[in-house]
Structure 1
Amino acid sequence: MNSDDFFLNLEHHFKSRLPFVAYRKPNNIVTKAFLQKTTDLHVTQYFQESGFVFAPFDDSNQTVLMPLAQCEVLTCELEMNTSEKHYSNSNQTNDEDKAFHVNLVNKGIDAIKKGLFHKVVLSRSETVDVSENISISVFKQLLQTYTSAFVYCWYHPNIGLWLGATPETLISVTGNRFKTMALAGTQAYLGIQDVIWQKKEQEEQQYVTDYIETQLKSLVSDLKISETQTIKAGNLLHLQSNISGILHTDLHSVLKKLHPTPAVCGLPVEEAKTFILKNESYNRNYYTGFLGELNLKETTSRNTKKRNVENNAYNSIKTVSHLFVNLRCMQIKTNEAFIYVGGGITKDSNTELEWQETVSKAETMKRALMS
Structure 2
Amino acid sequence: MTTINSLFEALENQYKNQLPFVVYSRPINSVIKCWLQEDDILHTTSSFTESGFVFAPFNLDNDSILFPQDSCKHHTLEINHLKTASNYVEIEVDETNSDNHIKLVNKGIEHIKNKALEKVVLSRQVEKKLSSDKPLETFKRLFNTYKNAMVYCWYHPKVGLWLGATPELLFKVEGKRLTTISLAGTQPYSENSDVQWTHKEYEEQQIVTDYITDQIAPYTSQVNVSNVETVRAGNLLHLKTYITSLIKDTSSLKSIIEALHPTPAVCGFPKQEAKDFILKNENYNREYYTGFLGELNLKQIRSRNTNARNVENNAYATVKTASNFYVNLRCTQIKESKALIYVGGGITKDSNPEKEWEETVNKTKTIVNVLS
Asked if TM exceeds 0.5, the reply is: yes
Larger displacement relative to structure 2 (130-139 or 12-21): 130-139
Moved more, 199-208 or 287-296: 199-208
Give CA-to-partner distance per residue, 1:272-302, whole Å, 9 cap, x none: 1111111113110000000100001111122
Tell me whether 1:216 sits opposite 2:213 in the alignment: no
Deviation at 1:348, TM superposition (A): 1.9
**Structure 1: runs of 5+ lacking an equivalent:** 82-89
Determine helix, strand or coil for the equivalent of 1:330: strand
Whether the aligned pair in 2 keeps the contact of 1:33 and 1:75 (CA below 8 Å) is yes
1:255 is aligned, of 251, 254, 257, to: 257
Structure 1's 334 and 200: CA in aligned 2 closer, same or farther, altered over 3 A? Answer: farther
The residue number in structure 2 matching 1:9 is: 10
TM-score (structure 1 length as normaliser): 0.92
Q: Which amino acid aligns with 1:316?
A: T
1:284 aligns with 2:286: yes
Give distance in 1, aligned partners of 2:198 and 2:280: 30
Which of 330, 349, 352 matches 2:351? 349
**CA displacement at 1:198 relative to structure 2:** 5.4
Q: Which runs of 5+ in 2 are unaligned?
A: 83-90
Aligned sequence identity (%): 53
* CA deviations over 1:227-274 (Å, ceiling 9, x no partner): 232222223333322111111122111111111111111111111111
Residue aligning to 2:30: 29
Match of 2:313 among 311, 314, 318: 311
Q: Deviations over 1:105-126 (max 9, x none)?
A: 1111111000001010111112
Q: Which residue of 2 aligns with 1:86?
A: none
CA contact (8 A) 1:204 1:346 kept: no
**Alpha-carbon spacing, 1:306–1:336, altered in 2? closer, same or farther (3 Å):** closer
Contact 1:188 1:360 in 2 (8 A): no
Q: Is the alpha carbon distance of 1:334 and 1:154 closer, same or farther for their aligned partners in structure 2, counting shifts above 3 Å?
A: same
2:52 equivalent in structure 1? 51
Q: 2:332 aligns to what?
A: 330
Rounded to whole Å, the distance in 2 between the matches of 1:246 and 1:59 is 24
Cα distance, 1:63–1:285 mapped onto 2, change above 3 Å: same
Tell me the amino acid that sits aligned with residue 300 of structure 1: R
Of residues 342-351 and 153-162 in structure 1, the stretch that sits farther from structure 2 once superposed is 342-351
Does the CA-based 8 Å contact 1:119-1:204 persist in structure 2?
no
Within 5 Å, which residues of 2 pair with 1:57-136?
A: 57-79=58-80, 92-96=93-97, 98-136=98-136
Would the alpha carbon gap of residues 102 and 186 (structure 1) be closer, same or farther in structure 2, given more than 3 Å must change?
farther
Indicate the residue corresponding to 1:178 in structure 2: 178
Alignment of 1:116-195 (within 5 A): 116-191=116-191, 194-195=194-195
Q: Which moved more, 1:200-209 or 1:12-21?
A: 200-209
- Correspondence for 1:84: none
